[in-house]
Structure 1
């Protein structure tokens, strides 16, 4: 299905595929990249599907709009590789990036947003690198999958509450086990959100994950971390796929790219 939405690269964007300590990545370079800055992107797909090809045009367009190099991660996925494999792979790539860039922007959609939030927490805890910002697109951050938007949007198109539970059990293992209690698996379990990088958090209104984004923005702001929440009316989970055929989706994607650019250039 992803191939149906793929678009050609913007003019001037080039790529190179390689491995970082065994983790496949794709490096996007715009025609005139900003020096010393790198966007690290984790794709969505419920920790089960997706990869370098599924989000290829998304990353190319972000690189072009922001004028920054982008590094996309092809992390290991479930069910063959359960938590913490994806986090470990993203951390491996982050450490590589931190050795080469003065500023890192963590970005991702859906499962990738959760991974980006987890890496921001781990980077702060370990004092490694400089995360300039987080751009988190309709992510799952550890809500209980009941009540609120999990009920009101239980049968939303694009993603249902049962889908969320299904993907979670594939990624964490069947409830209960210790994976479900790990803050890198469910960032909302963190008890100290201070000193995290500022965040631009995007949510779709017609998405059971809506309240996760609302809550994550709340806890960051309460801890003194600047977090902007943008909720997209009448859009569903995964809508950035439709950015070339839906004006609201296009406007949201432009805002996402602007946020990335702002963090890359020291604002945001």
Structure 2
């Protein structure tokens, strides 16, 4: 039995308790509509505002069948790089508002233009709808920006970023890097953090099973790298990758496994497991010292990859 009383410090426990007061651990037992209402309220409560100097524009990308809402954050006319940010939320929650302040801060601290993507959610839109939207957003960014493009996302968004990286290896303007924050990449659920942290605060194996089945409508998609990037058989020619996971999170081992596959294929990847942190800690970046330090690591990784620099 994992002793979270010793692994998790008082600041992080306060964040967990505050989160649970808005978003109770049994939220997955509610209807999807109720879950979204609860999640959106929680995100509003944690909203930290925009840093000074960040201009924000909400727009959309037209596809043959629908428009994909996007929000663009910029600090000047000619960014050195563009970041495609893909939000988390178990593929059923979140949107342009849920990670609004995170994107604004990422823009302010790197000087890069950040494009947040409001991909279609399950269960109304089953896999591969979210992947298709993320890929269409990348294609749009490749057409729009002369600057290098890099990928950044948390949780479900980290999954989608990795899937895009795999799908665009042969693209003439392939991503120059990816920063994946506590991503779910489809790892082996019989070992590692999936077992050690199956009952972790903020995310449990029960939650993960729920999100997996609702994303696919219960269909067996074993071996589909657009669903589970770790299911791919080829990890060569992927962009330089930084993985940042939370120690107290069943998904943490996915970061280690993904790093190992890329390195074994001759690529550049590094994995940081943040001690004592939990899934969703981006919202704690202003109140928890460990989360603040990790967000700085994320910003530094994005900044370095956008410059074509490998620091690790």
Scaled by the length of structure 2, what TM-score is found?
Answer: 0.82
Q: Which among 147, 162, 166 is matched to residue 191 of structure 2?
A: 147
Matched, 1:26 2:68: no
> Where in structure 2 are the equivalents of 1:32-181 lying within 5 Å?
33-35=78-80, 37-101=81-145, 102-124=147-169, 126-175=170-219, 177=220, 179-181=221-223
- Describe the SS at the equivalent of 1:106: strand
Q: Distance in 2 between matches of 1:28 and 1:242?
A: 21
Q: Distance in 1 between matches of 2:195 and 2:309?
A: 37
Q: Could you list the per-position Cα deviations for residues 92-134 of structure 1 after superposition, in whole angstroms to 9, with x for gaps in the alignment?
A: 110010112241110000000000000011111x424231100
The 8 Å contact of residues 118 and 184 in structure 1, kept in 2 or not, is answered as yes
> Where in structure 2 are the equivalents of 1:147-226 lying within 5 Å?
147-175=191-219, 177=220, 179-226=221-268
1:214 to 1:228, Cα distance in 2 relative to 1, 3 A? same
Please, which moves more after superposition, 53-62 or 126-135? 126-135
- Describe the SS at the equivalent of 2:144: coil
Consecutive unaligned residues in structure 1, runs of 5 or more = none
Partner of 1:7: 48
Q: Which has the larger radius of gyration?
A: 2
1:100 to 1:28, Cα distance in 2 relative to 1, 3 A? same
Report how far residue 228 of structure 1 moved: 1.1
The 8 Å contact of residues 2 and 54 in structure 1, kept in 2 or not, is answered as yes
Q: Distance in 2 between matches of 1:241 and 1:33?
A: 29
Report how far residue 33 of structure 1 moved: 4.9
The 8 Å contact of residues 223 and 232 in structure 2, kept in 1 or not, is answered as no
Consecutive unaligned residues in structure 2, runs of 5 or more = 1-41
Aligned residues: 264
Q: Distance in 2 between matches of 1:43 and 1:128?
A: 25
The 8 Å contact of residues 172 and 180 in structure 1, kept in 2 or not, is answered as no
1:228 to 1:119, Cα distance in 2 relative to 1, 3 A? same
Q: Distance in 1 between matches of 2:172 and 2:141?
A: 10
Q: Distance in 1 between matches of 2:299 and 2:78?
A: 15
Q: Distance in 2 between matches of 1:108 and 1:220?
A: 18
Q: Give the alignment's Cα RMSD to 1 decimal.
A: 1.2
- Describe the SS at the equivalent of 2:163: helix
